[in-house]
Amino acid sequence: MIAANNPALQSWIDVPSDNDFPIQNIPFGIAKIGRGQPRVATIIGDTVIDLSVLSELGYFKALDIDTSVFYLSRLNEFMGLGKATTRAVRDRISKIFQHDNPELQDNIDHKAQALHDVNDVQMLMPVEVRDYTDFYSSREHATNVGTMFRDPDNALLPNWLHLPVGYHGRASSIVVSGTPIHRPKGQKKPKDAEKPSFGASNLLDFELEMGFIVGKSTQLGERVSTSEADDYIFGLVLFNDWSARDIQAWEYVPLGPFLGKSFASSVSPWVVTLDALDHFRISGPKQDPPVLPYLEYEGNKRFDIALEVLIQPEGGTPHCVCKSNYKYMYWNAAQQLAHHTVNGCNLNIGDMCASGTISGTTPDSFGSMLELSWRGTKPIAMPDGSERKFINDGDTVIMRGFGEKNGLRIGFGEVTGKILSAIE
Ligand code: MN
């Protein structure tokens, strides 16, 4: 077991039992504290820890690393130190905060400099996203969409069981949790309309996804095998892949998603390392037909991470509309990465790969309004008496996720985004 993952560890920082960030998590993010510059940080309980200050005070001296990475406004350079080093940093943080370690615990001056209440901190984009790829890897989601738009008897297209279908998305519009999103405008052509028209999307949707962040680059021509993939995946975030269904439906033939997707995606601010998620690994589904050799894999490559989506109307209370799980993936992240690089396409540190909408087997576990309201035919009742087929102006969409096992909870916090009216 990775030492920092030991469920028996306790911190001298108080962590409530339903908190996502016990000492066994130690995620990484970019925090802006007061009027200071953005810095690399971690969090235990509700306490944000400025790693640049800890480094300045000498707490990482024994690691012999380039500590300039802690003063940057993105994790790219930190991730680029390599897993052996980032793992050593996580281990060291774990040691500093264990309940029986007095070195920082008993230093009031150092604590005042390095520790901050989460409410006093603004979280920024954790990484500079280089390229963004979106997969389509939940069998339940692909089956639902195929059933709705094509043919229930042939819901999956012929390639779906043979390769992890994906497309290249837009990196520039990936934003951190809390960033408001204007309803996009675009071309739409309702079924009964003769001609397309231009205007605000009427069918604005979320997609419940998880994103993994690449922490190691490859050279052009190089492939990453499924057994090497974990070394390239630094960690995961919650990912809301906002989608305008009416724009998407009209534009997507034959080259796939474009403006119906590229207006925004939102991510949670704390990157939970693959190491921290080790407890929650589970085996995959039987893949039938058998996959080609480059997609075969060994070991537990899926993760049991409970996910939920809530909609909060303007001035109202959040209402849960979906409970799903990251385990509902037919294609795992290692297979996605092996497929991504099998043609020799190179990876960059900071690449973001999203899972695709994660839908479970029951109607309350579907990961988009498109499926939850079954194309608008089954509206969702809200506590304030209103209904939702898709997302309204003023609605905030909240996604949360955590793994829980043997009394240990490792979570992601949340990703939120409020929809504002379209810009005139
Ligand atoms: Mn998507």
Q: Is the pLDDT of residue 279 over 90?
A: yes
**Within 13 A of 197's CA, how many CA atoms are on the CB side?**
9
Residues 286/353, Cβ–Cβ less than 8 Å? no
Q: How far does the centroid of ligand 1 lie from the alpha carbon of residue 208, in Å?
A: 8
Q: How far does the centroid of ligand 1 lie from the alpha carbon of residue 46, in Å?
A: 31
Q: Is the pLDDT of residue 268 over 90?
A: yes
Q: How far does the centroid of ligand 1 lie from the alpha carbon of residue 202, in Å?
A: 18
Q: Which residues contact 159 (CB under 8 A, 6 or more apart)?
A: 165
Residue 1: pLDDT band with limits 50, 70, 90? confident
Q: How far does the centroid of ligand 1 lie from the alpha carbon of residue 239, in Å?
A: 9
Q: Is the pLDDT of residue 344 over 90?
A: yes
3-state secondary structure 192-225: CCCCCEEEECCCEECEEEEEEEECCCCCCCCCCC
- Separation CA 59–CA 40 (nearest Å): 15
Q: Is the pLDDT of residue 312 over 90?
A: yes
Q: Where are the alpha helices (DSSP H) in 315-377?
A: 333-341, 369-372
Q: How far does the centroid of ligand 1 lie from the alpha carbon of residue 327, in Å?
A: 17
Residues 228/301, Cβ–Cβ less than 8 Å? no
Strands 115-117 and 47-50: antiparallel
The catalytic position among 116, 141, 279, 339 is: 141
Query: Nearest CA to 25 among 6, 51, 39, 38?
Result: 6
How many CB atoms lie under 10 A from the CB of residue 268?
Answer: 29
What mean pLDDT is predicted for residues 399-417? 97
pLDDT of residue 198: 98
- Separation CA 20–CA 55 (nearest Å): 25
Q: How far does the centroid of ligand 1 lie from the alpha carbon of residue 95, in Å?
A: 39
pLDDT of residue 191: 87
What mean pLDDT is predicted for residues 141-163? 94
Q: Is the pLDDT of residue 386 over 90?
A: yes
Residues 167/134, Cβ–Cβ less than 8 Å? yes
Q: How far does the centroid of ligand 1 lie from the alpha carbon of residue 166, in Å?
A: 9
What mean pLDDT is predicted for residues 246-261? 96
Q: How far does the centroid of ligand 1 lie from the alpha carbon of residue 265, in Å?
A: 9
The mean of the pLDDT values for the chain is 97
Q: How far does the centroid of ligand 1 lie from the alpha carbon of residue 337, in Å?
A: 16
Q: Domains, the chain, ranges and CATH?
A: 29-124 (2.30.30.230), 132-420 (3.90.850.10)
Query: Nearest CA to 390 among 373, 415, 405, 407?
Result: 373
- Separation CA 272–CA 21 (nearest Å): 10
Q: How far does the centroid of ligand 1 lie from the alpha carbon of residue 30, in Å?
A: 25
- Separation CA 166–CA 230 (nearest Å): 19
Q: Is the pLDDT of residue 363 over 90?
A: yes
Q: How far does the centroid of ligand 1 lie from the alpha carbon of residue 354, in Å?
A: 7
pLDDT of residue 35: 86
What mean pLDDT is predicted for residues 35-39? 93
End-to-end CA separation in angstroms for the chain: 55
Q: How far does the centroid of ligand 1 lie from the alpha carbon of residue 388, in Å?
A: 20
Q: How far does the centroid of ligand 1 lie from the alpha carbon of residue 136, in Å?
A: 7
pLDDT of residue 371: 98
What mean pLDDT is predicted for residues 26-47? 96
110 noted as active-site residue: no
pLDDT of residue 149: 87
